[in-house]
A and B are shown apart, each in its own frame.
Chain A
Amino acid sequence: MSDRTETTHARTRRLPQINPVWLLLAALVAGIILMNPGFVEPTGYMNFLKRAAPLAILAAGQVYVITSGGFDLSVGSLITLVVVGSSMLTNNDPAATYWVIPLMLGMGLGVGVVNGLVVCFLRVPSLIATLGMMITLNGLAFLWSGGAPRGYLPDTYRFFGRELVRDVPLVGFIPVSVIVLFVVVGILAWLMHRTNLGRQVHAIGDNPVAARLAGVAVNRVRITAFMLSGLSAAIAGILLGGFAGVSTDVGSGYELQAITAAVLGGAQLLGGRGSVFAAFGGALALTAIFTLLNFLGLPQPVRQVVQGLILIAAVALAMHRRKQTGT
């Protein structure tokens, strides 16, 4: 995992050692600043971080599942279920927020447990298990709401996704969602890179048989990875509902974006390698691509072509670098 010895020997190889996702992000941000100098103002970059927060949190959770050798496709529909469910349960009552939010976080963990159990004990590949869960949750959200949301989210609930903390020295203001973002990514990064759990997640993704023989409780670690992914989806749902209000398809497409962000950050599909910080960088880069293309004012079909090409190129670059470093 560490190439420290190599770097000291060959100074010239230091540059490629930087995860390319940060170079990509820097290039994109430079492009955005060029298009819109206002981006260097707090309003500019704080809006950007606020917008990236749900995806970044989702990617930080997804990277656990990917590193452990799986996929979690259910997160997008879980986001939808959280937003629709919250609007049904709060029913315009500001006081309801205090039990609805913990309930939704619990639901995220619960969906993760079920995903994990199905993968571990029913031996369903995670791609299929979570695809089934995605369809099921979409159906549940539709059943619950009858196809049209029935309530508003009260301001107490929307606090996390919408409000700002004002009068902060240096930057002026910080959106609450950006604070949530740093806390969640910080905790997930610490768990992944500083604790035994993180090492075990890497181990079972790399070689589950070897990990089991070495004494890792493979099933327990795998289920924990799915729980963290589910929890991150619930948090992302609470932020998205807060940011923009209720709609019945808020989460659609987020599962693929989260996987893309993790892979942009160098996570290895099928497991064994992944970094929470790099996935965070991947999510920022992905959001930066969307923002830059917005600013360029290209017609929609052209944007989609460019977006797809940038993604393929970025992941190809990440793979190339991996071959070079031999990891």
Chain B
Amino acid sequence: MKRILMATGAFAVSVVPLHAQNFDDPQEFAKQQEQLQAEPMGPEGQPWLQHIGGEMTETADLGLEAPATVCFSNAGVNNPWRVVGYTNMMQEVANHESIGDFVHVDAEGSDDKQIADINDLLAGGDCDVMIVSPNTTAALTPAVERACEDMPVIVFDRGVNTDCPVTFVHPIGGYGFGIQGAEFIVENVDEGSNVLMLRILPGVDVLETRYSAGRRILDEAGMNIVGAEFTDGDNAKTKSIVEDYLMRGDIDAVWMDAGATAVAAIEAFEDSGYEIPVFVGEDQQDFLRKWQDEDLTAIAPTYPTFQWRTAVIAAARVIEGEPVPAPEWVLPQPAITQDELADYVNPAMPPLHYAMCGCESMENYPDAWGGN
């Protein structure tokens, strides 16, 4: 069923004018490239508290009293990234005495449900501050605007098309992710090398920008891109696609827009009897372990789950009347390199645990994240 929906979606995306949203914006690309180099402000070693650029906004005049009730409208807990992030969040809530009650509503990946959820929370009248992780940008904008009229709102992960929230917490972004991986490939293979690009699915903004940035850098460096394939995030399909490419020629590097199927792609090389080429994965434990065990030439760009902590910290600061970075709280977006690999590999953690969680020093680590 999901496949059919995806097919319909993909078809719709290909028919609807693509210029509706520009996924290859040179200005945004340049901005994020600059932010990757910038020195973040804030306490060192605690990236979830740091920010890149942006002014501070006073929140004392919002007139909240501790302890206050924080309501969280969540797009969903429907993939391992969100599972890890949500765990970070619940653990962070326990750190703040100023947060009395924490109400969580899960939209299960549906725009309609999330809009209804936000309206219900507003009608209930119990919330003092609202955190929103929007399912999609355009659809949730009106609901967030309504919430802004009643209370301070903090948005994180995906944004909304309004500046009414107190702040929008997010890491540097999709272009940054694409840049980090592609630059690593360019540094490690010769000009004209064969690069295979693997993508999850078309039409998702955060993934499209990763791809356009990666593609731009690989093209400019004169790489031979042998293909850009959609894997649906499916291990078996990923492995099959890579096997098919290996039957037709050598591959010198693999760029991926997300790392969940990276190990399956690596196994395709192993099982076909090829050496594992230069690899771009992500910060999932299974990939990091494989990288360490097989001594790969690899990099793991991240879309850090620690931003889920930051959203709670921002809410607590609003309640306490402390200043927050605004209108955007841009978090650092570190990539894991060979030098730091050993710090992030942890065999006790589940395979799809995202290592860049900023959670190692939290009280219930690793049990709450499913570790042993």
- Taking beta carbons and an 8 Å cutoff, which residues of A are in contact with B? 36, 38-39, 43-44, 47, 51, 54, 146-152, 162, 164, 240, 243-250, 252-253, 256, 290-291, 294-295, 297, 299-301, 304-305, 308
Chain A positions within 8 Å of B1 at CB level: 252-253, 256
Q: A152 and B351: CB pair below 8 A?
A: yes
**A171 → B minimal CB distance (Å):** 16
Q: Which of B2, B13, B229, B235 sits near A247, CB closer than 8 Å?
A: B235
Q: B248 and A36: CB pair below 8 A?
A: yes
Q: B370 and A148: CB pair below 8 A?
A: yes
Evaluate whether A47 and B247 lie within 8 angstroms (CB atoms) in the complex, with A148-B350, A304-B10, A305-B11 already known: yes
Bound Cα distance from A245 to B234, whole angstroms:
10
Chain A positions within 8 Å of B243 at CB level: 47, 51
Q: Which of B247, B271, B286, B351 sits near A36, CB closer than 8 Å?
A: B247
| B190 within 8 Å of A (CB atoms) | no
Interface string of B228-254 (1 = CB under 8 A from A): 011001111011110110011000000
**B257 → A minimal CB distance (Å):** 14
**B253 → A minimal CB distance (Å):** 19
Q: Which of B82, B244, B260, B272 sits near A295, CB closer than 8 Å?
A: B244
Closest to B82 in A: A147
Sample (23) of A-B pairs whose CB atoms are under 8 Å apart: A36-B248, A43-B272, A51-B236, A146-B370, A147-B82, A148-B79, A149-B350, A162-B271, A243-B236, A243-B239, A244-B234, A244-B235, A244-B238, A245-B235, A246-B351, A247-B235, A249-B234, A252-B1, A252-B2, A295-B244, A297-B227, A301-B202, A304-B11
Q: A150 and B11: CB pair below 8 A?
A: no
Bound Cα distance from A162 to B267, whole angstroms:
10
Contacting A at CB under 8 A, from B246-299, are 247-248, 260-261, 263-264, 267, 271-272, 286
Chain B positions within 8 Å of A243 at CB level: 235-236, 239
**B321 → A minimal CB distance (Å):** 36
**B287 → A minimal CB distance (Å):** 11
Chain A positions within 8 Å of B286 at CB level: 152, 245
Closest to B273 in A: A43
Q: B3 and A147: CB pair below 8 A?
A: no
Contacting A at CB under 8 A, from B3-62, are 3-4, 7, 10-11, 13-14
Q: A247 and B3: CB pair below 8 A?
A: no
Chain B positions within 8 Å of A300 at CB level: 10, 202, 230
| B83 within 8 Å of A (CB atoms) | yes
Chain A positions within 8 Å of B351 at CB level: 149, 151-152, 245-246
